[in-house]
């Protein structure tokens, strides 16, 4: 996460006492999904075949890191890691425990989406992201107190 979206993510994490040194950030795609129009390059949502092609690398990253908690930022990440038909408007903020990569996984709005909003909508969604990050912070504390998982828990 770089640029304005990265700055917003840093700001929202900072609001609950988290910095980048506390988290591991990885991407569903291992290259930039973009389109060039009229000589300008802009980001676009990743396509399913692109996410599928990058999935082995993402799985390896998560297996190595072995996080207690994952927060998927945006629907594409949630579709890749929670379930394929994830609906951000209905399932954002819910905790799922069926992930092979972590104990708890949830989704929050992508900072780039929030930046496209204006006025009260921007402020409300920014606050929602802060609350989702804080919920993840609390979930990590909770998960650290739990006994280790075994093969029988999977």
Question: Can you give the pLDDT at residue 44?
Answer: 80
pLDDT above 70: percentage of residues in the chain: 96
pLDDT digit string, tens, across residues 69-118: 999 999 999 999 999 899 999 999 999 998 899 999 999 999 999 999 99
- Give the burial class of 153: count Cβ atoms within 10 A of its Cβ; 0-12 exposed, 13-18 middle, 19 or more buried: exposed
Q: Residue 125: pLDDT band by 50, 70, 90 thresholds?
A: very high
Q: Residue 154: pLDDT band by 50, 70, 90 thresholds?
A: low
Q: What share of the chain is helix, strand, coil (3-state, %, to 5)?
A: 50, 10, 35
Q: What is the pTM of this model?
A: 0.87
Query: With 80 as the cut, is the pLDDT of residue 5 above it?
Result: yes
CB of 28 within 8 A of CB of 34? Answer: no
Question: Can you give the pLDDT at residue 24?
Answer: 95
Nearest-angstrom CA–CA distance, 39 and 54:
27
Helix (H/G/I), strand (E/B), else coil: 69: strand
Question: Can you give the pLDDT at residue 151?
Answer: 62
* Annotation: CATH topology of 3-153: Uracil-DNA Glycosylase, subunit E (3.40.470)
């Amino acid at each position: 996460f770089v640029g304005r979206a990265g700055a917003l993510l840093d700001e929202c994490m900072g609001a609950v006492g988290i910095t980048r040194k506390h988290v591991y950030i990885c991407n569903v795609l291992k290259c930039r999904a973009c389109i060039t129009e009229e000589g300008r390059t802009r980001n676009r949502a990743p396509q399913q075949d692109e996410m599928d092609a990058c999935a082995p690398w993402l799985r390896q990253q998560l297996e190595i890191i072995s996080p207690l908690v994952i927060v998927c930022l945006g629907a594409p990440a949630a579709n890749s890691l929670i379930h394929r038909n994830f609906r951000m408007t209905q399932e954002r903020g819910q905790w799922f425990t069926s992930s092979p990569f972590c104990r708890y996984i949830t989704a929050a709005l992508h900072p780039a989406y929030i930046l496209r909003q204006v006025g009260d909508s921007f402020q409300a969604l920014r606050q929602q992201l802060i609350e989702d990050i804080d919920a993840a912070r609390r979930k990590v504390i909770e998960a650290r107190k739990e006994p280790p998982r075994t093969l029988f828990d999977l």
